[in-house]
Amino acid sequence: MTLQHESRPGSDWPAAVEVLNEQGPSDIVLLCEHASNHIPAEYRQLGLDGSHLTRHIAWDIGAAGVTRLMSGLLDAPAFLGGYSRLLIDLNRPLGSSTSIPVLSEATEIPGNVRLDAAERARRAEIMFTPFHDRVAAHLDSRIGDGRPTRIVTIHSFTPVFLEASRPWHAGVLYSQAGDFGEAILAGLGRDGTLNVAANVPYLIGREDDYAVPVHGDDRGIPAVLIEIRQDLLADRQAIEAWARRLTAALQAEQAA
């Protein structure tokens, strides 16, 4: 498995994108935009108590572990984000209200209030644009080589959001890739103990999502976003189980 970083100088400024196994032969390309909760020291935790940086508002808990394992199981390329979603969200269009949130769930983010245009542009230049340029270059290369490609982005969600309980164990979200998404759901549904459904707990929309519409739909590449409930990713064993489960569902879909 190869590992590549594209970074700024200094250990406090990691790569905007971590690339795993780029030459892997799988037709699946894995993305994990919310893989990291890292915030460089100069941002002073955006004015938050450190405990908030371990919460879902800062990253998708367990998603990076699932992505890394699936990259190995599928022999697939994977692209993981290097910074906290609180600085800039890699799965939101630039300029959207949730791109650099001032409120996440019910938590105010003091360090994001009244940012000037220069700081917004700086975060985009350091964290957002390098990630998506790297993904785009990989996808364009695959298209140029005539390689079959399907995109799977890995996320996790909270079991309760603003006091509303979410009963699903996982969701498969899609816009134009209905056949792909439903095939994955069918694979997961073979386990009768799982509560899985399409387009839960969110819907894909161009105003609120980036990877699926831009990297997938706009290129004509089947693309889905998989959400796993984060309390089901509480330890290494659980993460491994979900990585194997999703890998099996993707392999079954490919064989069908």
pLDDT digits (tens, 9 = 90+) for 33-57: 999 999 999 999 999 999 999 999 9
The yes-or-no verdict on residue 7 having pLDDT over 70 is: no
Q: 187 vs 44, 100, 139, 183, CA distance in Å?
A: 44, 36, 26, 6
Strand partners, 227: 155, 171
Domain residue spans of the chain = 3-255
CA-based nearest residue to 86, from 67, 68, 105: 105
Work out the number of other CB atoms within 10 angstroms of the CB of residue 111: 17
- How would residue 255 be classed by pLDDT, with cut points 50, 70 and 90? low
Q: Report, as an integer, the average pLDDT of 159-172.
A: 92
Q: What is the pLDDT of residue 6?
A: 44
Please tell me the class of the 3-255 domain: alpha beta
Q: How confident is the model at residue 164 (pLDDT cuts 50, 70, 90)?
A: confident
Split at pLDDT 50, 70, 90, the class of 10 is low
Average pLDDT, the chain: 94
pLDDT in tens, 12-38: 999 999 999 999 999 999 999 999 999
Query: How buried is 132 (Cβ within 10 angstroms: 0-12 exposed, 13-18 middle, 19+ buried)?
Result: buried
> Is the pLDDT reported for residue 170 higher than 70?
yes
**pLDDT classification of 5: cutoffs 50, 70, 90:** very low
Q: Tokens for 175?
A: 């816009």
CA 78 – CA 152 distance, rounded (Å): 9
One DSSP character per residue, 4-25 reads EEE--SSTTS--SEEEE-TT--
Overall average pLDDT of the 243-255 stretch: 89
Dump pLDDT digits (tens) for 141-163: 999 999 999 999 999 999 998 87
The tokens of 37 are what? 């909760």
Residue 70: φ, ψ to 5°: -65, -35
Contacts with 242 (C-beta within 8 Å, 6 or more apart), sequence order = 62, 66, 170, 228, 232, 233
pLDDT tens, position by position, 46-96: 999 999 999 999 999 999 999 999 999 999 999 999 999 999 999 999 999
Taking residues 219-228, what's their average pLDDT?
A: 98
C-alpha separations of 149 from 30, 32, 214, 220, 223 in Å:
10, 17, 14, 10, 9
Model pTM? Answer: 0.95
- Residue 118 pLDDT > 50: yes
The residue type at 196 = V
Q: Average pLDDT for residues 124-133, to the nearest whole number?
A: 98
> Quick count: other Cβ atoms within 10 Å of Cβ 229?
20
Rounded Cα distance between 202 and 143, Å, is: 29
